[in-house]
Structure 1
């Protein structure tokens, strides 16, 4: 088994150490870039995957943590932030803000501190899995601990099915 230092992105391994977190970082030979790929590799429910999604709200980056089975309702994010406009960030802004590429963005350990919104749906599980800084590595954590370490605000921003 790889250690967190070898399985996780170096910046994320540093963040884990700084937070005093001893978690099992699992590295896979195939990609875990999408929530479906990650759930299949881990053998967990799709909703146990944490998607770390960067949005741009009135020109400022914001991170939204969402379960892998759900979609973010951008209008609910806009209302939550009191913003004029919210849109998905492009790949350049994601990398500039977090220091990671799309598909490997962890919920914390970013280059730039941003506001974090965490959807309440993450609390439905005892354990959730999130990216460890690369599209090949993930780590498990209790959702409340993950949200606390991300300094996230618990919100309801999940798209409701019709």
Structure 2
């Protein structure tokens, strides 16, 4: 197993007490479509993790003037994240896609392999209700060629995610 995928599995066990079965694929799983093809499931059953940057707006009753805040969205691979809805949900003036280097620095994982769990920093997280339509969903497991299977309700609970539709 790739060392980053093994690290993800160890973090999940240590932090959450769950043993996740990490599946690795030579063809890669860095996109929802590629992951669905590799696993043999609907693209909608892929739990993609997107990190967005929030700017402006209010935080705990005070105007947010410092560095952009980061949030995570666990979305169905069949859906597109609505950044305006993300900004509105979190009370920000604007939400944008986060720079890949900043994602790596903040959550400890690189894009294409960002898992929905086991981040270096705790981020407010939202969960796409489309994923709840499946018995099993698949999230990235730390590399662009590894995924893990999980019940969507368990995933939302472990990620401490709020279920809300913020997709287009």
Unpaired runs of at least 5, structure 1: none
Unpaired runs of at least 5, structure 2: 56-67
Paired residues in the alignment total 155
The alpha-carbon deviation at position 14 of structure 1 amounts to: 2.4
Q: Aligned residue for 2:148? A: 139
Over 6 Å off, 4+ runs: none
After superposition, the C-alpha distances for 1:31-51 in whole angstroms (9 at most, x for unaligned) are 100001100000000000011
Quote the Cα distance in structure 2 between the aligned partners of 1:97 and 1:63: 11
Quote the Cα distance in structure 2 between the aligned partners of 1:134 and 1:77: 26
The alpha-carbon deviation at position 133 of structure 1 amounts to: 0.6
Q: Aligned residue for 1:20? A: 17
The alpha-carbon deviation at position 6 of structure 1 amounts to: 5.9
Q: Secondary structure at the match of 1:65?
A: strand
Higher radius of gyration, 1 or 2: 2
CA separation of 1:6/1:88 partners in 2, compared to 1, >3 Å: closer, same or farther? closer
Q: Secondary structure at the match of 2:51?
A: strand
The alpha-carbon deviation at position 74 of structure 1 amounts to: 0.9
Q: TM-score, normalised on structure 2?
A: 0.88
2:103, 2:109 within 8 Å by CA — same for their partners in 1? yes
For residue 113 of structure 1, the aligned residue among 122, 128, 134 is 122
